[in-house]
């Protein structure tokens, strides 16, 4: 069967990771701008002030996308570039940048896929409580309307939030990501609930104000447990483990973010024990607002953990990683089977077409003596994962597309510029771009619609 004829091949980025121009043309500060100023928050004191300078190099970057043969490009909007204070006065220069980007993409035959929020929360709203403020979902809805009014005459594909597990879990629970908070469960669960309300209200806004028929989804982490064998018991154990909700770490449970958005209810564990005591007050219409019809489910998938069926119970147990297990430069395990079992499990549960919104790896890339960037490990990694993804298609899973992470090397949050995920190498001092071997390999995959894997 293979990938469908209308399968979407693309690559992805995020605004703060590539744009730079942090203090230009009226852009307001985000929480990442502030956290980068704190000693030790980001490795080597790196910041996103310049990043890949995409704000000034947008047209040449789109030309590189065309050279790669991309059919689609997933990018995010910087909220504080569009509305510097988070709500109120709109920065037309900021909006114009994204409008010009959309035009450039379409002129080059590349379909824009817009993510409204990828972690760069406006500082002025954070000072008013951020996601803890009951008005935060309305702020997000107002922002969404500004963007939709400007771009929806040309943009058909929308995503609301990227990886809420990270900007709530890492940003509000452990504090290792911006805004750097270490809150008690009572508070970060409230922030999570307001985030879900923001998602639902943004979906409503997109559908109400889009100037043409559109598709709407969102992009949580697709955390997946992989069966250690192909036995039915191990597969069922992996399915259960994938959708389990750990009361001690509920923010990382896929069901916390996806059951709510698609089924309109929190997992049952949310109301049990100490976790239930910390749950926010849920308004009468909150779950109706959160549960909006979606056209596809975006999933960010990089690594999974293996499980087996428990010997004497109808449950599961985690399998310890073997000594010397395969891992990427950022020390994430190489687990290609997740791109088979993940889409399969999520499609079975949620009955929505699956779009892999992020998948890729950080590798040890440098410019060789011949002036090229040879990255065979990335080619091997992507080949293995895409073969598993095609296997899911062969099994009848509805696959919408695949967005490789990332288009280019960029600011990797707390790791700064120490990790290279791109198909395109960026020499940061000169901003020179070099398409890596993997970029040309990916172009051949796109040209064959995955048949050459």
- Residues known to be catalytic: 163, 358
Number of CB atoms found within 10 A of residue 228's CB: 18
CA angle, 162 as apex, 361 and 276 as ends, to 5°? 115
Q: Which of 18, 27, 121 is nearest to 412 (CA)?
A: 18
CB 211 within 8 A of CB 147: no
CB 453 within 8 A of CB 74: no
CA distance 421 to 405: 7
CB 342 within 8 A of CB 305: no
Q: DSSP strand E in 203-335: where?
A: 215-219, 225-227, 297-300, 305-309, 316-318
Q: Which of 325, 335, 333, 344 is nearest to 235 (CA)?
A: 344
CA distance 107 to 101: 10
Share of the chain residues as helix, strand and coil, in percent rounded to the nearest 5: 40, 15, 45
Q: DSSP strand E in 310-427: where?
A: 316-318, 354-358, 399-405, 424-427
Torsion sign over Cα 109, 111, 117, 118: negative
The number of residues in the chain equals: 453
Per residue, what are the HEC states of 289-321?
HHCCCCCCEEEECCCCEEEEECCCCCCEEECCC
Q: Which H or E run includes 33? A: helix 31-35
DSSP 172: I
């Amino acid at each position: 069967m293979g990938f469908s004829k209308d399968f979407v091949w693309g690559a992805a980025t995020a605004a703060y990771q590539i744009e730079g121009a942090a203090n230009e043309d009226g852009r307001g500060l985000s929480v990442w701008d502030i956290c980068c100023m704190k000693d030790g928050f980001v490795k080597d004191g790196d910041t996103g002030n310049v990043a890949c300078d995409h704000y000034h190099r947008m047209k040449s970057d789109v030309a590189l996308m065309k050279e790669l043969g991309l059919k689609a490009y997933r990018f995010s909007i910087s909220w504080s570039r569009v509305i510097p204070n988070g709500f109120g006065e709109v920065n037309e220069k900021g909006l114009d940048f994204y409008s010009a980007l959309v035009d450039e993409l379409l002129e080059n035959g590349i379909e824009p896929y817009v993510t409204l929020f990828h972690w760069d929360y406006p500082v002025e709203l954070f000072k008013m409580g951020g996601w803890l403020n009951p008005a935060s979902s309305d702020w997000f809805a107002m922002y969404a309307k500004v963007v939709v009014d400007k771009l929806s005459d040309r943009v058909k594909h929308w995503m609301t939030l990227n990886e809420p597990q990270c900007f709530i879990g890492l940003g509000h629970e452990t504090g290792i990501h911006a805004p750097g908070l270490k809150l008690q469960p009572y508070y970060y669960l409230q922030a999570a609930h307001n985030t879900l309300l923001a998602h639902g209200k943004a979906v409503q806004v997109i559908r109400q104000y889009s100037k043409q028929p559109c598709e709407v989804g969102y992009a949580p982490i697709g955390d997946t447990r992989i069966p250690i064998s192909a036995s039915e018991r191990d597969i069922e154990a992996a399915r259960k483990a994938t959708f389990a909700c750990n009361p001690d770490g509920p923010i990382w449970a896929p069901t916390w973010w996806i059951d709510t958005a698609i089924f309109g209810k929190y997992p049952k564990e949310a109301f049990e024990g100490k976790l239930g005591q910390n749950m926010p007050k849920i308004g009468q219409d909150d779950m109706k607002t959160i549960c909006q019809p979606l056209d596809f489910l975006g999933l960010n998938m990089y690594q999974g953990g293996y499980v087996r069926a428990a010997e004497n119970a109808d449950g599961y147990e985690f399998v310890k990683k073997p000594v010397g297990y395969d891992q990427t430069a950022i020390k994430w395990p190489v687990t290609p089977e997740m791109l088979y079992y993940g889409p399969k499990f999520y499609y079975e549960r949620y009955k929505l077409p699956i779009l892999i919104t992020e998948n890729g790896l950080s590798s040890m890339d440098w410019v060789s003596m011949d002036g090229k960037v040879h990255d065979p490990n990335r080619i091997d990694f992507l080949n293995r994962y895409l073969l598993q993804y095609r296997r899911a298609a062969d099994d009848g899973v509805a696959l919408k597309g695949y967005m490789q992470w990332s288009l280019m090397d960029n600011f990797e949050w707390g790791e700064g510029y120490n990790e290279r995920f791109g198909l395109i190498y960026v020499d940061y001092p000169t901003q020179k771009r070099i398409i890596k071997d993997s970029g040309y390999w990916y172009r051949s995959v796109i040209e064959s619609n995955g048949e050459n894997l």
